[in-house]
Amino acid sequence: MNRLQDKVVIITGAANGIGLQAAKTFAGEGAQVVIADFDEEKGEQREQELLAEGLTCTFVQVNVADRGSVDAMVDSVLSGYGKVDILINNAGITRDGMLSKLAPEHFQQVIDVNLTGVFHCTQAVLPAMTAQGKGKIVNTSSVTGTYGNIGQTNYAAAKAGIIGMTKTWAKELARKGINVNAVAPGFTETGMVADVPDKVIDKMKAQVPMGRLGRPEDIANAYLFLSSNEADYVNGHVLHVDGGIMM
């Protein structure tokens, strides 16, 4: 029996990187996956790719920073599937810059997507999960949210905020049958690091006891565990998937 058989899963930011790998992993475990992403062209392309592999998925365009767009996305999922079992708040952007040069609009853009977007999506699925009496919510934080990182004031603030929201919601929603946890990836091989010079990548690897960057499947597997019945008694936890970089 697949671990997520017939579960309806919304994964934000699922057209690329970790989110795309999560969509494949979850669909492979029997889930009905909603690829929720801002990039309509890429999202539709991913939907066709996964369907061609025999996986069950649907693409829904969404701007997580816009509440109306989020509500429309959730309404679409509920009308199509009748429920939402799992929400993976994976969508995120970067607008890096040293504090002295960080544009206020770049600070706000990252907060709007990476933090406020998580609030919007979670609040939007809450009525459906509460009515079911069961649900799993996984939020994507980062080691940057715990330890900070030079040039990432906005990203660190958002990812630290996610940890605070995760623990608050875990306390509020547990009695409703809803588990809320977070995953904190370390340096991971995605589009976000694709343009980083090799010299910098080598330095990043040198900081990791395991000697390599994370792979999208490493993070997707953590999402999978926290979304499965195996994690029914895990609540309010921040799972670091970072190769031991922050020990």
Please provide residue 192's backbone torsions phi and psi, each rounded to the nearest 5 degrees: -65, -25
Tokens 């905020």 sit on residue: 161
User: Which alpha helices (DSSP H) does 59-197 contain, by range?
Assistant: 67-81, 104-111, 117-132, 143-147, 153-173
Distances (CA, A) of 154 to 79, 92, 105, 117, 118: 36, 12, 10, 14, 15
Instruction: In whole angstroms, give the CA distance from residue 180 to residue 174.
Output: 8
Establish whether 155 is a catalytic residue: yes
In SS3 terms, 65-99 reads as CCHHHHHHHHHHHHHHHCCCCEEEECCCCCCCECC
From 97, 92, 98, 119, select the one nearest 185 (Cα to Cα).
Answer: 92
Which H or E run contains 6?
Answer: none
Fill in the amino acid letter for 120: H
- Catalytic residue of the set 147, 155, 223, 233: 155
List the catalytic residues.
Answer: 155
